[in-house]
Structure 1
Amino acid sequence: MAGDSLGTLFRVTNYGESHGKGIGVVVEGCPAGLALSEEDIQPYLDKRRPGQSSITTRRDEADSVEILSGTIDGKTTGTPISLFIRNKDQRSKDYSEMAQLFRPSHADYTYHKKYGIRDVAGGGRSSARITAGHVAAGAIARKVLHQALGVDIIGYVKSIQDLELTTEPEDINPELIETNLVRCPNESLADKMVTKIEKARKSGDSLGGIVECQLRGVPAGLGEPVFDKLEADLAKAMLAINASKGFEIGSGFAGTLEQGSTHNDIFFDDDGVVRTRSNNSGGVLGGISNGMPIVFRVAFKPTPTIIREQETVNKEGRDVVFHGRGRHDPCVLPRAVPIVEAMSALVLCDHFLRFRAYKELF
């Protein structure tokens, strides 16, 4: 199936389905000699896994990762690293009715038209369950970036529907993110978000919102001109996440309301290091990192499966009424945070390895 791989030098290929035996990834291009074990990967999967709180899906998966290849004596060998996560809590019977119809705002119809056949249980390959593989691979990329460059990747929920965090990115305290169920670094706002999600869940509905992410400690020079610009690859990675519907970097769409005289980031010398007084560019200029924090946002739609009756059509094109069932997140935002972080790590690690290959040596 085309489109299952991401990256050039640090390349990740994802495999598996929601209700199959398992899901996973193959990671190619990881430098040899990196200390790596399941314990390095598992904490990030624990943040993404289902069933972790009252505002996430009730599906109970431990998401325990197994390293099948690519390491010896606890270190990477430079060969492909295969990671596997077993599925253990499938309820395929919940989806029997869906074989005959197309769920609103799901990939049922588009997969049917593209392939002529689809895996009904859990959405098969179109399920957000496959993002566990993204997170597992991202954990390896994060370790490479942290050891080589000291990069910190900080994702958090910026908004749930109309509840929005107004704190400037540079003032975010990362230690507050994991102190609440919704992963918003503002306690009072987080409480309101949780209440809003619970209300939507109880009424059989769902909510969307925005995840903001910062990449701190990224050196200047990462990214390729023209088609492989750093922000272009970040956008591709973010829009590959299930339920994502928008991407913006730096000032984003809000920048259209300003003039060049107020929007331009002014350079200055900071003890021999070139920086900018503002960061409307979001840390990227000409598709290449400029040494400032990379700041971007990803918009996620309301979860399409809701426990309410909805009109749709069946495979014969006849009008039918569909009633959602199964176990689903009333809001994907809390679990989307580690996925956004992982995808940014994959892109950044790939561009770091490209940078290292291209950098003038003589």
Structure 2
Amino acid sequence: MCVRYLGFVLLVWFPGVLHAQRADNSCSAPRLNDGYFVPNNETYAHGVKLTYACEKGNKPVVAGRWWATSTCQNGTWFHEPKCIDEEDCITPEIPNANYTTSPEVWYQDGHVFRVTCNEGYEPKNRAATTRCNKGRWTSVLVCEKRYDSCGEPPRIPHAVIKHEYKEVFAADTQVYYECEDGYTVERAEDTKSIFCVHGNWTDSPTCRSSTNCGLNEHELTTINRCGSLPVVRDGVVVETDRMFVKYKCSRYYALVGPQTVSCYSDGTWSEVPTCKAAFCSVDTDKVSRLKPVGVKFIEEGETVRLECKDEHWFDNFSKVQCTNGKIQLSRCCNRAQLSTNTC
């Protein structure tokens, strides 16, 4: 079996572990095969750190160095000092990945590791596996945001979100709002939840004061009543009027929500738009058939031609399309073939 678990080692050392958990929260000296540590004492007080290194041909079970530190915490070492074969690999660090094993599990040379990304993420370029090769993983796995996932939900004045904070929410996620005391949803038919649909949040509810039910608290007024203009990331103000502000998105971004924002008489802004990424990128240095000219950006729905580097053909290009945030590359063809769609 390729995977080695620290749990097995701990079972072998079980008597020592029991001995290590003292009433005064001190730790016994760890049993470290194929390595050595300093200071070399029989016991260590709570909070004390020791440093250890491994004999030639071995390495610590944690990442990044030929030595490691461990701390005594309430009678237990964190992490458990351990030396492994230098050609083994420790669990790769992959942000936004779902680990089903302990980070202190290690893998033998030749083991193939498969990543499982968190909800709302997917393996970049569909690369989901890497192999342990003489102590190093053959490739760096990345979990990137899915094109149909959503960022954080829109902010609603006088409301909170009944959901833990996340930077990315998977498609079809339902998020609930709750109005603060003294406020309620504006209309009886309004729901207190929104959904992530194809990368965008559905329309959000509005919380209004329940003490002013007979008044129209959302009468419009001049924008100076609301103070500083809302900031739209990747967007700019294109028009400012006494009663509204108009926005547009920068190139490669699409506007989601209303184009204009107004000021309510209670000092709050109406719904503020967001700018959603609407482009694809191609790193030509990493696509073997393309001439390396760096990263090229392509707008959503746009089709461009990138030059191929095949020396046996003249006037040779690949048709590149950006659809729903995904790149589609054709094989290399000449201009005539591309123009007649015979490529």
TM-score band w.r.t. shorter chain: under 0.3
TM-score under structure 1 length normalisation: 0.19
TM-score under structure 2 length normalisation: 0.20
Q: Which has the higher helix share?
A: 1
Q: Which has the higher strand share?
A: 2
Greater relative contact order, per chain length (Cα 8 Å cut-off, separation 6+): 1
Q: Which has the larger radius of gyration?
A: 2
